[in-house]
Structures are given as structure tokens and as C-alpha cells.
Amino acid sequence: MTIDGFQPMTLLDWPNKVGCTVFLKGCNFRCPFCHNAPLVEWEGKQPAPALALEKFQDFLTRRQGLLDGVCVSGGEPLLQPHLPQLLETIKTLGFLVKVDTNGSFPQRLQELWKLGLVDYVAMDIKNSPARYGETAGVPGLDLAPIRESVSWLLEGQVDYEFRTTVVRQFHDAASFDAIGPWIAGAKRYYLQTYTARDTVLRPGLTPWDQEAMEGFAAQMRPYVGHVEVR
């Protein structure tokens, strides 16, 4: 197994933790605002591995006591058949594991948690149910697995956050009118301001300004313990 993208240190992705991030290729969604187009649309053009597993193990061994954990991101990491082995490697070396997911695979996520391989989950809430498929780039998307992931995380067995990348072309006040009641009782919710990059799937999208983002955050505060724009 290889690591398809690697960030040796991240402070922002995990509350009060210092970690590194690994990116694994492949995703079942095609969010137009996705920043990781080379990892998502890799079929037929195998991306060069960023790091072999052995080198990643060496890296972690040298960071014991310096980093708290590893953020496993993508793409959608739960698509990877070898994910359990990767997480076991990370846990064996004494690091916490954060999994970033789009919520499509609730059973796989729960199985990994039951094995003691997941300490924190960051799940995307792409949009209101009414605009979910459009925002995920999958028209007609079946929301049942997404709803199941949300319900399981709300039970609070594993520490978690929900987050939405907010894009002017997809999100407005009506989005948060619907998302708020859906995730009511959640611990943490982050609104991420969209930033245009060269690697985005669909160029030409634009962010909301800070004032609008704070307005959306205010809509969410009656429903969620901690709401933040980042």
C-alpha cells in the first residue's frame, strides 16, 4: 500500500492536536469544489505515490512523542481495502487516528471504530438534503448511508466533528435552515470558506464573504455546541 499524498504537519485539522495527514486516492463523490481532483479522478492516470508505507512508518517512528496523531484523508479513505492495516500500523506506533469521511460507508466506519482503530471522525455535511446530490456531484445520490453516519456520530461513541465547505453557488441561508435541525445536538460544526485552487474539480466557483459566513454560523449555533468558521 502507498500513501498518495502527505502533509508532514497539520495544526488546523484536529482540535488541540498536532498531526500529519495522509491522503489516499479514490472517491465515490465528485464535489465540484473538491481540492483534490488528482486524487479523486485518478483512474487511468495512476498518481505517483507520495510515500511508500515503509517510509511512512520510518517517519512516524521518528515523530513519536512529537506528533499526537495521523489524519487519514482522501479522496474517501473508507474506500481503501487496505485501510485497516494502515490504521493498525499507525496505532501500533502509538498515534491517534482521525478519519476524514464523506459519510458514505457507515458500516465500515463503525467496524474500524469497534476494532479500536479510530479516535476522531471528521464528516462532511455537503449541504441540505434537498441539494446534497448536486453538491456531491452525484445526482440522485441515496442519502440513507449519509443519514446513518450522522445518526451514529450523534450517539457520541467516538469523538467527531461535522463540517461543510461553503460555496456561493451551492449554499445559502436555506442550506443551514435544513442542516441545523438535521445535526441538532452535535458537538462541533465547522464552516469552511471555499478557496479556489488549481487542483479544484470545477473552476469558476466562488466563496461567500466573512460576513455571510458568520451569518451562516449564527444560524447553526442554536443546534450545535461549538460552531466555528475556519
Q: Which residues bind ligand SF4 (CB under 6 A)?
A: 27, 29-31, 34, 36, 40, 74-76, 102
H helical segments located in 22-116: 37-40, 53-62, 83-92, 106-114
Q: At what angle do helices 173-182 and 210-220 cross, to 10 degrees?
A: 30
Q: How far is the CB of 146 from ligand SF4 (least distance, A)?
A: 11
Dihedral sign for Cα atoms in the order 60, 66, 69, 71: negative
Specify the residue, 60 or 78, whose C-beta has the smaller distance to ligand SF4. 78
Burial class of residue 30 (count of CB atoms within 10 Å of its CB; 0-12, 13-18, 19+): middle
Specify the residue, 36 or 219, whose C-beta has the smaller distance to ligand SF4. 36
Q: How far is the CB of 79 from ligand SF4 (least distance, A)?
A: 10
Specify the residue, 40 or 153, whose C-beta has the smaller distance to ligand SF4. 40
79 vs 109: CA distance, rounded Å: 10
CA proximity to 154, closest of 111, 121, 116: 121
Q: How far is the CB of 92 from ligand SF4 (least distance, A)?
A: 27
Cis bond before residue 75 (omega within 30° of 0): yes
Specify the residue, 31 or 191, whose C-beta has the smaller distance to ligand SF4. 31
Specify the residue, 55 or 202, whose C-beta has the smaller distance to ligand SF4. 202
**CB distance 39 to 91 below 8 Å:** no
Specify the residue, 29 or 59, whose C-beta has the smaller distance to ligand SF4. 29
Q: How far is the CB of 184 from ligand SF4 (least distance, A)?
A: 23
Q: How far is the CB of 37 from ligand SF4 (least distance, A)?
A: 8
- Strand (E) or helix (H) holding 25: none
Q: How far is the CB of 100 from ligand SF4 (least distance, A)?
A: 8
